[in-house]
Amino acid sequence: MTQQRVLILGATSAIATEVARLYARRGARLYLVGRNAGKLEALLRELGAEASGRTADFADLAHAPQIIDDARLALGGIDVALIAHGELGDQLQSERSFVEAESILRTNFVSVVALLLPLANLLEQQRAGTLGVITSVAGDRGRPRNYSYGAAKGGLNVFMQGLRSRLWACGVNVVTLKLGPVDTPMTRDHEKNLLFAEPRAVARSIARVLARGRGEAYVPWFWGLIMPIVKHTPERLFQLLPFLSGR
């Protein structure tokens, strides 16, 4: 992994920060893009001379190609790109306000696609590279507690499937990382249980999956055993089981 050129978008999230630290320890050159200027500046200082980056508002869709071009110029090309930004939003509010529903869809689907298009075109021209996107197990089945967020992630999963088949002949790996719940600031209001993972362990798993170039992967791995059951439970039975269909 020495001197791999790595782009991380959403780099100031808890998980992405741990991924950046991991790649830095392995000698990669990093370009980090985050929304929080203070956190980004502190992370760049911590990682040292091989890390550079910039702040960006991912909701500014028209500016997405420039973000990718800035990274390309800074790194001289991109070997690994990880899109890691997202937001749960307020499910109850999204059921009453289109403004909130649209915000969830824009943050978790539309803004990601805006970055994927120039990234995919760049890696296609290079005929090499790995493109990873963090999605969620919530995208595998709609549940009352988070179906607005889940719909955005489910749409992103389908988009990634098509993109993967488009780019495979070019030698470009397209990786969908379906994460279960992780103990981060984004889930600070959630009651924690044994299924919640820790950011550093999740980051190690993400790096392993990206290195393999595997098409889809559940992180942590045990969600790959759980989610087929959740996905294929008949709807009437699903609705009768509070731990699946409850708020």
Q: What is the CATH number of the domain that holds 161?
A: 3.40.50.720
- Which residues does 212 contact at the CB level (< 8 Å), separation at least 6? none
Contact 95, 19 (CB under 8 A): no
- Which residues does 187 contact at the CB level (< 8 Å), separation at least 6? 88, 181, 196
Q: What's 191's DSSP letter?
A: P
- Separation between Cα atoms, residue 236 and residue 157, nearest integer Å: 25
pLDDT digits (tens, 9 = 90+) for 97-155: 999 999 999 999 999 999 999 999 999 999 999 999 999 999 999 999 999 999 999 99
Per-residue pLDDT, 2: 53
Compute the average pLDDT of residues 186-207.
Answer: 86
Mean of all residue pLDDT scores within the chain:
95
- Which residues does 116 contact at the CB level (< 8 Å), separation at least 6? 83, 131, 133, 159, 163
- Specify the 3-state DSSP secondary structure of 208: helix
Per-residue pLDDT, 1: 45
Per-residue pLDDT, 214: 82
Using N-to-C axis directions, what is the helix angle for 147-167 and 98-105, rounded to 10°?
30
Contacts of 159-167 with C-beta under 8 Å, sequence gap 24+, read: 159/109, 159/113, 159/116, 160/133, 160/135, 160/216, 163/116, 163/120, 163/131, 164/215, 166/120, 167/120, 167/123, 167/124, 167/131
Choose between 148 and 183: higher pLDDT. 148
Cis amide prior to 220 (ω within 30 degrees): yes
Residues involved in catalysis: 149
Instruction: Of 163, 166, 140, give the one whose Cα is nearest residue 152.
Output: 140
Question: How many independent structural domains does the chain possess?
Answer: 1
pLDDT digits (tens, 9 = 90+) for 55-102: 999 999 999 999 999 999 999 999 999 999 999 999 999 999 999 999
Per-residue pLDDT, 195: 86
Percent of the chain residues past pLDDT 90, beyond the cut: 89
- pTM for the whole structure: 0.93
What domain range includes position 239? 5-245
- Separation between Cα atoms, residue 131 and residue 210, nearest integer Å: 8
- 127: amino acid identity, one letter: R
- 167: amino acid identity, one letter: L
5-9 and 216-219 strand pairing: unpaired
Per-residue pLDDT, 243: 82
Per-residue pLDDT, 146: 95
Choose between 189 and 53: higher pLDDT. 53
**233 is written with which tokens?**
């439970």
Residue 10 has pLDDT above 60, yes or no: yes
